[in-house]
Amino acid sequence: MVGSSSTKQGLSSWIGAATATRTSVEFDKNVAVSGGDSPSHSDNFTDVNLGFGERAISAAGAAVLSAILVNPLDVAKTRLQAQAAGVPYDSLCNLGHLNSNTVLTGVKYNSAGTRAVLGAEPTCSPECFRYKGTLDVFYKVIRQEGFTKLWRGTNASLTLAIPSVAIYLPLYDIFRNTIEEYTLRNIPIATAYVPLVAGSLARSIACITCYPVELARTRMQAFKDTKNGVKPPGVWKTLVGVVSPVNSVNSFQNSMQSYRLLWTGLGAQLARDVPFSAICWSTLEPVRRKLLGMVGDEASATAVFGANFSAGFVAGILAASATCPLDVARTRRQIENDPERALRMTTRQTLVEIWRDGGFKGFFAGVGPRVARAGPSVGIVVSFYEVVKYCLSHRHMHRQNEGADL
């Protein structure tokens, strides 16, 4: 049988099973699909030896690395989207009585409008009122707030990323392998759509589970720190600030409303993340299988890293570009400070509001840093995760071989 070496067996987890054809095709050491026969799925993928805990640890490590490296781009993206929603950033220009967490609901922000609302004249140039783009966000955040504020919300990012990615990627692996096994045996034509379904299911579960921390992170990144020497609120205080207006009057109904507020914008988050995951994995899987197929028996940890990073980079850019309007809607819903309005608004209404305020351009506020963040972020997470899995799989194989020799 062709390609029965142990190295190729070790690569089957990343190369995966190709779509069945009527000509003779080999997936793995133990799988062959002959013309006219029903295909069978390999039960010998190397990563099936890995437990959920090992997968989760691999994913958590990838999440930490990615969150730290790309957080400045996330801050820039969120600031640009919040600005488009009407969040004023002029409170450092001697307009200190403006609360830094105030959203001017329904008001398209400009310097003249802010003077009219606040009844004050700024003492600095109008240029300090608005961010012009990603680099301008970096420059003004560093100059006005300090270099470290580019990592504003990193604690929340880590608090979110570790459990979220540790749930997301292992579940994706499990769903993909399980569904792929079923489709290869029963519905071969559906195998090509397995990454789309597995990615959507895994992302939905991770998103719903960890959403309150996502809400806190967005709010922490969106608003400017105006109190010098005062430590900005962390994840817990930010979430308390979300629910405190409703809890001012104790009642069961208000308690339920405060609980719901912690999931404000969940619909917009799912509307963004599910298509993102579907597009991302549908692009990533065939690209990395093609790249690893080109390497063949010569693959190593370096090759696994390169193939997965390249595939993840391309997939992340495509998915981020396609889902940017939904990301703008999600940000706008998450930074809304009016509890009644936050509970009343829907994703569709938010999209209509974005169109009314900014037209087609408004749907792509912050698209530059979002795309710049998504490419390396997906590449880092997937490649790190797969390399750790690769190393752990080889360790398991080595132990199995030693046991067989005994």
Position 103 pLDDT exceeds 60: no
Using only the alpha carbons of the chain, give its radius of gyration.
24
The pTM of the full predicted model, rounded to 2 decimals, is 0.69
Give me the pLDDT at residue 4, please: 37
Give me the pLDDT at residue 254, please: 56
Distance between alpha carbon 11 and the CA centroid of its chain, in Å? 27
Confirm if 10 and 46 have CB atoms less than 8 A apart: yes
Confirm if 133 and 255 have CB atoms less than 8 A apart: no
The residue with greater pLDDT, 286 or 253, is 286
Query: pLDDT tens, 144-165?
Result: 888 888 887 777 777 777 888 8
The residue with greater pLDDT, 177 or 258, is 177
Give me the pLDDT at residue 383, please: 92
The domain segmentation of the chain, as residue ranges, is: 6-405
Query: pLDDT tens, 334-344?
Result: 888 777 787 78
SS3 at position 323: coil
Which of 1.10.10.10, 3.40.50.970, 1.10.3720.10, 1.50.40.10 is the CATH number of 6-405? Answer: 1.50.40.10
Q: Which of 113-122, 250-259, 276-285 has the lowest mean pLDDT?
A: 113-122
Confirm if 332 and 108 have CB atoms less than 8 A apart: no
Query: pLDDT tens, 162-213?
Result: 888 889 999 999 999 999 999 999 999 999 999 999 999 999 999 998 888 8
Position 139 pLDDT exceeds 50: yes
Q: Which helix (H) or strand (E) holds 31?
A: strand 31-33
Give me the pLDDT at residue 284, please: 95
Q: What is the rounded (10 degree) CA torsion for 334, 337, 341, 343?
A: 50
Q: DSSP code of 366?
A: T
CA angle 192, 198, 203 (to 5 degrees): 140
